[in-house]
């Protein structure tokens, strides 16, 4: 199969080249992809602040840099099974990982946002030895061959790699002590609860809270920031207090997650992806958390 042969060839060549040389080889492709994104998908232009301005403009210079870096960073997953090797691992700041390890006596639901290196978060956790799966809203981001094939490079045992958002039974069976489930809280689907950030409304999904109550999981906010080409920093916030989950206080739980993640994201707002930006301005007037 052509795509399998391409996959193997790129991995083989990339494994032989020094990382700066590999980045230089891929750079022209990344620039071409970035230009196409910015022309055909205006929402790909980065915002200058979080909360986003009411009328985000088209920032071509910043957008080209950001989209080029984003595409290059995505290609890092082609060598995900090498992330523990020194030439890769020294590029990652995963100090905050110990906060997650300390919670592994319970199932852990990692709530993140579409920001920075979100695509690398499950891989970084698996490469550090944590059995991790992610929930995918298949209507928005289908689990295509390329995504599955890259993820398989860091599979741990027979643990699944992805769940579709509607696979409630499979997800609950997966969530046992020592497993980690990555969920993006800013997907614009299902029930949400509203908080504010700098006086602007911000909505997050509530299903992870119900899932945590059902499985006795702890909810931990986390982000991956991209600090240049193939350089990531993991931020792990304080867990959501169990009392908020037991009492169905979803508004307070959303307040907590927003307080742990949004100030970090606001330091580098250009890394906010369209779904995170939209979570500020698509909040519905009546939300499930207050029902």
Q: What percent of the chain has pLDDT over 70?
A: 96
pLDDT band at 166 (very low <50, low <70, confident <90, very high): confident
Residues facing residue 226 across a β-bridge: 232
**286: pLDDT strictly greater than 50:** no
Going from N- to C-terminal start, the domains of the chain cover: 2-290
- Nearest in space to 291 (alpha carbons), one of 241, 256, 247, 250: 250
pLDDT band at 281 (very low <50, low <70, confident <90, very high): confident
- Nearest in space to 97 (alpha carbons), one of 283, 243, 232, 269: 232
pTM assigned to the model: 0.93
**140-162 pLDDT per residue, tens:** 677 788 889 999 999 999 999 99
Cis amide linkage into residue 166, ω under 30° from 0: no
**216: pLDDT strictly greater than 70:** yes
Q: So what's the pLDDT on residue 3? A: 87
Provide the CATH number for the domain formed by 2-290 in this structure: 3.40.1130
**87-136 pLDDT per residue, tens:** 999 999 999 999 999 999 999 999 999 999 999 999 999 999 999 999 99
From residue 201, alpha-carbon distances to 150, 284, 285 in Å are 36, 10, 10
Q: So what's the pLDDT on residue 214? A: 96
Average pLDDT of the chain?
91
Q: So what's the pLDDT on residue 55? A: 76
Spacing of C-alpha 263 from chain mean position: 16
Q: What is the mean pLDDT of residues 163-184?
A: 95
pLDDT band at 285 (very low <50, low <70, confident <90, very high): very low
**6-44 pLDDT per residue, tens:** 899 999 999 999 999 999 999 999 999 999 989 988 888
């Amino acid at each position: 199969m052509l795509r399998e042969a391409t996959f193997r060839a790129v991995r083989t060549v990339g494994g032989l080249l020094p990382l700066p040389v590999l980045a230089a080889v891929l750079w022209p492709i990344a620039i071409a992809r970035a230009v196409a994104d910015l022309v055909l998908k205006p929402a790909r232009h980065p915002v200058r602040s979080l909360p986003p301005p009411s009328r985000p403009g088209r920032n071509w210079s910043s957008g080209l840099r950001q989209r080029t870096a984003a595409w290059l960073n995505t290609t890092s997953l082609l060598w995900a099974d090498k992330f523990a090797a020194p030439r890769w691992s020294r590029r990652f700041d995963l100090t905050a990982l110990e906060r997650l390890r300390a919670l592994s006596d319970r199932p852990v639901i990692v709530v993140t946002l579409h920001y920075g290196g979100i695509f690398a978060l499950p891989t970084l956790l698996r490469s550090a030895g944590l059995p991790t799966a992610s929930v995918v809203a298949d209507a928005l981001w289908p689990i295509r061959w390329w995504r599955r094939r890259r993820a398989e490079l860091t599979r741990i045992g027979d643990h699944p790699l992805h769940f579709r958002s509607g696979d409630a039974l499979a997800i609950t069976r997966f969530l046992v002590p020592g497993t980690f489930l990555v969920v993006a809280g800013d997907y614009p689907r299902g029930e949400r609860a509203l908080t504010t950030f700098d006086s602007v409304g911000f909505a997050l999904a509530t299903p992870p809270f119900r899932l945590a109550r059902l499985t006795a999981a702890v909810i931990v906010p986390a982000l991956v920031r991209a600090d240049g080409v193939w350089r990531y920093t993991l931020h792990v916030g304080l867990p959501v207090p169990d009392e908020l989950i037991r009492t169905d206080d979803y508004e307070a739980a959303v307040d907590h997650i927003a307080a742990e993640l949004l100030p970090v994201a606001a330091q580098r707002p250009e890394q906010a992806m369209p779904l995170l930006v939209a979570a500020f301005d698509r909040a519905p007037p009546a939300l499930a958390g207050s029902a």
